[in-house]
Amino acid sequence: MENSVLTVAKFGGTSVANHDAMSKCAAIVAADNGIRVVVVSASAGVTNLLVELAHTAMTPQQRDGLIEQVKGIQFAILADLGQPKDVADKLDTLLMQLEELAHHEELLHQGELKDALLSLGERMSSLLFSEVLNQRGVTARNFDVRKVLRTDSEFGQAAPQLQSIADAAQSLMTPELADTVLVTQGFVGADDQGRTTTLGRGGSDFTAALLAEALHADVCQIWTDVVGVYTTDPRITAAARPLPELSFEEAAEMANFGAKVLHPATMEPALRQDIKVFVGSSREPEKGGTWIMKDCTHEPPYRAITRRKEQVMVTVKTPQMVHAQGFLQSVFTIIAKHNLSVDLVTTSEIAVSFTLDNPANSVSERLNRETLQELREFCEVEVESGYDLITVVGNNMHSAAGVSSKIFASINAFNLRMICYGANPHNMSFLVDEKTSGEVVTVLHRALFE
Ligand code: ADP
Ligand code: ASP
Ligand code: MG
């Protein structure tokens, strides 16, 4: 890795899961003088426990059981650090806040309390990781990201306010970077009243890219548990292989369509400021990884296959749709009002189908009763679940002959729903039954990449 380029490095949940994993990350930071800002996720498993506490009704005893699990993860790291008193005291303070929030009567009903609780995962891991760096001889300080990462007040899915972030980062972080590595929290922000917010699951990648943008960094590194971005999720097929390079657009499409290795919004700041993004494995940094940049040497028609699980397909029908004006507008006004993000849309004369994401552990429930009720007031609504969304990401697929026939020929044994191709020449998407989606990806991968 090149030195003296200003780098923001993000370490994901498995990379900071325990002391051993954190030590590998510390070695990466110590070896690269350009890394001045470190963004960490919560230790693996902690956010899931906090989400469960924040969203599920349970007995006080069950709550205590989950809190004990969180404590177990954090105390194990503290023990491996030799229980330094100042760190132990700060961790105790955070854990006291956790207990208080976890038992708060209003927790299940107030986004503000939920986000305060969810933020504690990153606040604990960043405290512990800065001590790991200090013990390794790196001058590092735990920095509260809420001083700079200003967002709106959409708890659970807050949107960043770019100008405020840039101003605060430059005045509060930049002056320290010459002699200190700042270790800060991914996923967490604060609104203009200082209330804690969060950016949505997997949001630490986005935080790293936002800080890289605000600080005019040259590089944003995403250190995770795989050696880069692969042709498809290596958990689906062992034939998946890492890609040495990707364009911003390809990576953005992949992230959008379910390549979990990058939060969907990660590429936006990188693209705006032309910041190179590197994805690699903190366990095996010597293996290199993927460089994501503006111009690649090679932009093939097929680049990767992504899968997004747990899609919900909504079909709205009205007998009056024939020549009816304003139907689509009414449907999409309701969707926009409820902040739902629609991915695929197909229309016919009397019906519109669209898909929504419905991931487990999502911070906000996407398709709620209220939305359905509003739609049902003027049309028939059918909701089907059990689908996964498969996308082939590539380049200019519309201009090469045989691109789509190759895709469809390879998977003609499977039933495809809602095929979307054409609106964007860089991808083709369709839904398949969730029970067959792994097989579909494997077969498609063989046809396109092996
Ligand atoms: P982190 O905790 O470091 O943010 P994530 O679990 O969020 O890690 O993302 C890494 C995971 O993303 C990998 O373990 C892999 O299973 C999954 N993944 C999905 N699609 C891809 C892909 N195309 N390339 C690499 N990893 C992928
Ligand atoms: N800890 C958060 C999550 O698990 C954010 C992240 O890891 O990126 O979703
Ligand atoms: Mg992630």
Tokens found for residue 302? 């097929």
Q: Which ligand is nearest to the CA of 233?
A: 1
Tens digits of residue pLDDT in 224-283:
999 999 999 999 999 999 999 999 999 999 999 999 999 999 999 999 999 999 999 999
Tens digits of residue pLDDT in 43-98:
999 999 999 999 999 999 999 999 999 999 999 999 999 999 999 999 999 999 99
Residue nearest to atom 10 of ligand 1 (CA): 261
pLDDT at 368 over 80: no
Instruction: Kindly report the average pLDDT of the chain as a whole number.
Output: 93
Closest ligand 2 atom to the C-alpha of 187? 5
Share of the chain above pLDDT 70, in %: 96
405 — pLDDT class (breaks 50, 70, 90): confident
Question: What b/e readout covers 178-216, taking b as 16+ CB neighbours within 10 angstroms?
Answer: eebbbbbbbbbbbbeeebbbbbbbbbbbbbbbbbbbbbe
Tell whether ligand 2 has an atom less than 6 A from the beta carbon of residue 13. Answer: yes
Is-contact 251 308, C-beta < 8 A?
Answer: no
pLDDT at 379 over 70: yes
Q: Which ligand is nearest to the CA of 257?
A: 1
Residue nearest to atom 5 of ligand 2 (CA): 202
422 alpha carbon – ligand 1 mean position (Å): 28
Q: Which domains does the chain have, with CATH numbers?
A: 7-225 (3.40.1160.10), 304-449 (3.30.2130.10)
Q: How far apart are CA 127 and CA 88, in angstroms?
A: 10
204 alpha carbon – ligand 3 mean position (Å): 7
Q: How far apart are CA 149 and CA 166, in angstroms?
A: 9
Q: How far apart are CA 389 and CA 203, in angstroms?
A: 21
Q: How far apart are CA 349 and CA 340, in angstroms?
A: 24
Backbone φ/ψ region at 137: left (φ over 0), alpha (ψ -120 to 50), beta: left
pLDDT at 150 over 50: yes
pLDDT at 34 over 90: yes
Specify the pLDDT at position 363: 40
Please give all residues whose beta carbon lies within 6 A of any atom in ligand 1, as ranges: 12-15, 41, 202, 224-226, 229-230, 232-235, 259-261, 304
Tens digits of residue pLDDT in 89-136:
999 999 999 999 999 999 999 999 999 999 999 999 999 999 999 999
Give the up-direction half-sphere exposure of residue 447: CA atoms within 13 A in the CB hemisphere: 18
